[in-house]
Structure 1
Amino acid sequence: MESVEPDTTKTVMMNGKSRYYEPAPTDIDVENFRKVLQSRRSVRKFTSKPIPEAVLDDCLDMAMLAPNSSGLQPWTFYVVRSPDKKKQMVKACMSQLAASTAQELIVCVARTDRIDEFARQMLREWPTPTLPTVVKRYYQLIPLSYNPGPLNSFAAVKKSAVALGGLFTAVPRGPFNRQDVKLWATKSTALACENLVLALRAYGFDTCMMEGFDEVRVRKILNLSSAELPIMVIGAGERELDGVFWPQVRFDRELFIRKV
């Protein structure tokens, strides 16, 4: 199934200026959406039923619709298909059932090595006929903003400049060093992971988002560079009857929600 691109020809007049207009759909079934959320569980055991290729591809497409910082999409999804690599990946996941019984193993990787490239690509593929000046300047500055420099040498300078500016106005406080940039990429990639597991659940399949894996072995299996950070291995398939081991636990909402 192909993703539907927004119709950029739709415009409205606001304050005497033509603005892009993309109306939000009003026919979304909240209860079915709630059912997807509530039935999404960490499934530890899967049946032998395969996930149809078209279904998996559509779910991956929906994963990539996740919100992401500056639209730079700092992720790669490795769908492990080689029998040998899959066997190695199961071992790297400590041979847990969620990995060994999964029909698909998807390694979700946050990336910091394509920021400059994708900033330039955003300028080339901007979806309106005219590239706004503010947008052009923003993406031209991104390579500088996200570059920590050799041995984080730019980080201290940028941090000092931002601290000074912050005395007078609100300013973004990072990312400055390499760890900051990794965290930046990880946040966006985690959002895409959530999209992926919810999309699979909507199709009637289940997942287990595994953080318990040997990162060194996963890196070796996939030949990842130092700029590629494996943050999650997702096992996916059809839920076995005893695939959910325990009832879900959620603490009282008052522990987490503050209206200030």
Structure 2
Amino acid sequence: MDPDSNPLSELIQSRQSTRKYLDKPVPREAIERILDLTHLAPSATNSQPWRFIVVDDPELKVAVAKCLTSPLLPSMNTFAKEAPALIVVVEEAANVAAKVGNLLKKQHFSRIDIGIAVGYLTLAARSEGLDTCVIGWLDNKKIQDILRIPREKTVQLVVSLGYSDDPMRPKTRKKMDKIRSYNTY
């Protein structure tokens, strides 16, 4: 198969972090298809330690978007209020096997699993002609208050979602010999 004609390759190459969105709502049917694919992501011992809260109510969306900025950097993430939808990613409790693995391996597998799931989410969104931006700078407590998320939960990420009004940018990446080796570091 020609790598350039591979549908997954096309999705990956066309996916970019979008910070400018068209004023066009995202159909809930598209969001459902995206989340149907996202929940197929693998997780440690199949614990699926995530919950996705779709925020498409305009007032709630603006309130959550305000939790993605900082007094130190007031212009940071202000684009999020213009996105038609935000997907708040909440870390849920892992199953017992994953918790044991966390302790034995001194690794927080749920966060790794959430990263994998959000990777699926961004590609599933792209397959619907939608664009995303993954946002990690957030005020967990304020988002918990706005969305009535229990205190024992943690908001790990927020993903903006919509139709891009950003031009496609060239991808700048490290050269492969800086990130790849075989059989040794």
- TM-score when scaled to structure 2? 0.83
> 1:115 corresponds to which residue?
95
Q: CA deviation at 1:90?
A: 1.1
> 1:197 corresponds to which residue?
122
Matched, 1:258 2:181: yes
Q: Secondary structure at the match of 1:175?
A: helix
> 2:134 corresponds to which residue?
209
Matched, 1:102 2:83: yes
**Contact 1:45 1:239 survives alignment (8 Å):** yes
Q: Secondary structure at the match of 2:34?
A: helix
Aligned counterparts of 1:85 and 1:56: Cα–Cα separation in 2: 17
Structure 2: tracts of 5 or more residues without a match: 70-74
> 1:86 corresponds to which residue?
61
* Structure 2 residue corresponding to 1:175, chosen from 102, 119, 135: 102
1:176 alignment partner AA: L
Matched, 1:184 2:109: yes
Q: Percent identity?
A: 28
Structure 1: tracts of 5 or more residues without a match: 1-25, 117-141, 148-173
Q: CA deviation at 1:97?
A: 4.1
Q: CA deviation at 1:51?
A: 1.5
2:65 alignment partner AA: V
Q: Secondary structure at the match of 1:45?
A: coil
Q: CA deviation at 1:50?
A: 1.5
Q: Which has the larger radius of gyration?
A: 1
Q: CA deviation at 1:30?
A: 5.5
Residues 146-176 of structure 1 deviation map (CA, whole Å, 9 limit, x = unaligned) = 26xxxxxxxxxxxxxxxxxxxxxxxxxx412
Q: CA deviation at 1:225?
A: 3.1
Runs of 4+ residues deviating >4 angstroms: none
- TM-score when scaled to structure 1? 0.61
Superposed CA RMSD in Å reads: 2.4
Aligned counterparts of 1:213 and 1:244: Cα–Cα separation in 2: 26
Matched, 1:248 2:171: yes
C-alpha distance 190-88 of structure 1, shift in aligned 2 (>3 A): same
Matched, 1:67 2:42: yes
Q: Secondary structure at the match of 1:176?
A: helix
> 2:22 corresponds to which residue?
47
